[in-house]
Structure 1
């Protein structure tokens, strides 16, 4: 008898290790040639933030020819969207931003001294 997780495994194909699992096992993970063609601007709407460069070039310029990764007008993804982003292939990558992860602790450290200010004595 096949349980649901085994059935899902056969329907979606092979399962790959996570990026973190490969790094823990000291196996190097590199961007694929397809991933090196992606140019991701960190502002603006997501559908227009990622573009696909015409070729893999080591220096990214603002005026390089590119195509959108996703075209909302036609609801079509660029074929590169089906390519793996790493070599070897991984199932997931956990991304974090140190400044955001530390924000709460930093805020508390900065404001601890004036969280409970001393009461002022009434001058008469």
Structure 2
């Protein structure tokens, strides 16, 4: 798998900003590449600590959270960093270093793409 190209959950398009990588599950069967991308996201969210961290960032005031604000999930700081890296690698979080702290953000386009992927009926992008 190291040599396989995996799409991010959302892709940039010059004319429309951001588009989902994959169609809704109910629209048609996934291609192999789409399945890889969706599986990477679900795998990242399949760990309870990662899901808690993702939720903490997504629900934090202002839509972003300093690692110092979300690290109380019952594991050590190095383990929190490992899980945050996995979420970033899956395309679910972005980060920005400010001084000694790193701030994490869940882009609204990622949440929208996840919603479209899980929609019962195809949802037209706004």
Provide TM-score, normalisation by structure 1.
0.31
**Which has the larger Rg?**
1
Q: From the two aligned structures, give the one with the greater helix fraction.
A: 2
Provide TM-score, normalisation by structure 2.
0.30
